[in-house]
Amino acid sequence: MRLAIGQYTATSAAGTGLVEMREAIHERRSGLRRNDLEACDLDTWIGRVANLEEVALPDSLTYLHSRNNQLAWLGLQQDGMLDAIAELKQRIGSDRVGVIIGTSTSSIARTEEAYANLLPSGAMPPEYCQPEVHNLHSPGIFVSEATGLEGPSMTISTACSSSAKVFASAMRWISHGLVDAVLVGGVDSLCMSILYGFNSLELVSPDLCRPFDERRNGINIGESCGYAILAKEDMITDAQFSLLGYGESSDAYHMSHPHPDGKGAVLAMSQALDRAGIAPNVIDYINLHGTASQANDRIEALALAQLFSEHTLASSTKAWTGHALGAAGILEAVITLEAMRYGIVPGTLNCDQPDPDFAFHVVRENVQRPLRYAMTNSFGFGGNNATLVFGHADD
């Protein structure tokens, strides 16, 4: 089975909406900045969405206020997404469109804020009594409410693979007839728990991240939001792209370290190719997980070398956006679709000295080339891995 991909959008430090993101990639201009998050003293770089604090929710949704839901709302307003959803609702019915959102931290920043403002009695101030916000399913709740979609709603939280796995779940929902279309997405925002948590694991770099560079020394954390409409092929007749296959694995080798031989990564990529019905040598471009941590990049390169040759173009785009955690999957899926749309492979920023010990080497400069098939990898903590394969709808 293949699914048509309708309207899609992404917002990150690289830009609000597709136009700004395309310009940043074309100009090789990173969206990362020195950490300026209020009350956070970590010496690092972050991928912060511009002017997010100024985003106002509609009056009917203020009870769901949080930084994460502000980002979810900002993302929904880009690239005609709300209009596309409204048209789909009118055409097939709001109850036949599902919602699946990926996240890692949900609205935990709002929970941090609530505990920092407890009343002298220890009680939570009334404005923070938000059960639908202090809740891992908060993004799913918010998006369903904001769009008026009445189909099943689910939030997936599997670390950094969260919003790649939404595509797999959508394909299963549609193939089983649960719905006819799904709004998939992902949203994760900056918060203290994540910044200090990753720093305690010695994974946060004080410098700009350098994916696949021999001097790489850690990640830069970012925030992002993205969406895509997936549907049966006859539901979106003007679709440019299709979801051809997905792969999911859980190697469970270690709480935070991937399997040293890349077994889970190879399994996810192999499953995605098998479902798509294509061979590895047909893939023109791979958007890599490529976080710039020591272990991740080395093991992903090892896994790639087991399936692909040097003729396959591959790159990491996290030096543009930061690692958007639970929103990385949807963000990088959209970047991959845009690469296919315009035939521009984004090179790997800051990879000035490629690690000579790597079994597979990445593209460092932007490459102009038609892309027929593309893949994106999202590998998370606990060995939660997801791979997606995309093709052109008219192929």
pLDDT category at 276 given cuts 50, 70, 90 is very high
pLDDT in tens, 347-387: 999 999 999 999 899 999 999 999 999 999 999 877 799 99
pLDDT in tens, 314-345: 999 999 999 999 999 999 999 999 999 999 99
Mean pLDDT of the chain: 96
| Structure confidence at residue 168 (pLDDT) | 98
| Structure confidence at residue 260 (pLDDT) | 84
- pLDDT exceeds cutoff 90 at 248: yes
- pLDDT exceeds cutoff 80 at 253: no
- pLDDT exceeds cutoff 90 at 259: no
pLDDT category at 9 given cuts 50, 70, 90 is very high
Please identify which residue in the block is written with the tokens 């469109």: 97
Closest C-alpha to 52, from 36, 30, 34, 28: 36
Cα 66 from chain centroid (whole Å) = 19
Alpha-carbon gap, residue 318 to 144, rounded angstroms:
29
User: Strand (E) positions, the chain?
Assistant: 3-12, 15-16, 33-34, 45-47, 97-102, 153-156, 181-188, 221-222, 224-231, 241-250, 285-287, 313-315, 344-345, 367-368, 373-379, 384-392
pLDDT in tens, 41-71: 999 999 999 999 999 999 999 999 999 999 9
| Structure confidence at residue 382 (pLDDT) | 72
Are the C-beta atoms of 25 and 17 separated by less than 8 Å?
A: no
Please identify which residue in the block is written with the tokens 């929904």: 76
3-state secondary structure of 259: coil
Give the active site residues: 160, 289, 323
| Structure confidence at residue 10 (pLDDT) | 98
- pLDDT exceeds cutoff 90 at 125: yes
User: Strand (E) positions, 269-372?
Assistant: 285-287, 313-315, 344-345, 367-368
pLDDT category at 310 given cuts 50, 70, 90 is confident
| Structure confidence at residue 359 (pLDDT) | 87
Alpha-carbon gap, residue 392 to 395, rounded angstroms:
5
pLDDT category at 395 given cuts 50, 70, 90 is confident
| Superfamily name with CATH number, domain 3-392 | Thiolase/Chalcone synthase (3.40.47.10)
As given in the structure block, the two tokens for residue 67 are 């930084």
Closest C-alpha to 11, from 59, 101, 84, 71: 71
Residues forming beta bridges with residue 286, ordered by sequence position: 314, 375
Are the C-beta atoms of 382 and 292 separated by less than 8 Å?
A: no
Closest C-alpha to 81, from 23, 162, 18, 141: 18
Alpha-carbon gap, residue 41 to 47, rounded angstroms:
16
| Structure confidence at residue 381 (pLDDT) | 77
| Structure confidence at residue 223 (pLDDT) | 98
Residue range 144-171: mean pLDDT, rounded: 97
* Alpha helices, DSSP H, located in 14-137: 18-27, 67-76, 81-92, 108-116
Alpha-carbon gap, residue 138 to 136, rounded angstroms:
5
